[in-house]
Amino acid sequence: DAGITQSPRYKITETGRQVTLMCHQTWSHSYMFWYRQDLGHGLRLIYYSAAADITDKGEVPDGYVVSRSKTENFPLTLESATRSQTSVYFCASSDNGNHQPQHFGDGTRLSIL
Partner 1 sequence: QKEVEQNSGPLSVPEGAIASLNCTYSDRGSQSFFWYRQYSGKSPELIMFIYSNGDKEDGRFTAQLNKASQYVSLLIRDSQPSDSATYLCAVKAGSARQLTFGSGTQLTVLP
**In this chain, which of 90, 93, 110, 112 binds partner 1, going by CB under 8 A?**
90
Kindly state the smallest distance separating residue 8's Cβ from partner 1, in Å: 15
Give phi and psi for 71, each to the nearest 5.
-55, -35
Listing DSSP states for 9-41 in one string gives SEEEE-TT--EEEEEEESS--SEEEEEEEETTT
Q: Which of residues 43-62 bind partner 1 (CB under 8 A)?
A: 43-45, 48, 56, 58-59
**Which phi-psi region, left, alpha or beta, contains residue 42 (left: φ > 0; alpha: ψ -120 to 50)?**
left
Kindly state the smallest distance separating residue 12's Cβ from partner 1, in Å: 18
Residue among 27, 32, 28 nearest 45 (CA)? 32
By CB under 8 A, is residue 98 in contact with partner 1?
yes
**In this chain, which of 23, 29, 105, 110 binds partner 1, going by CB under 8 A?**
105
**Footprint on this chain of partner 1 (rule: CB under 8 A):** 40-45, 48, 56, 58-59, 90, 98-102, 104-107
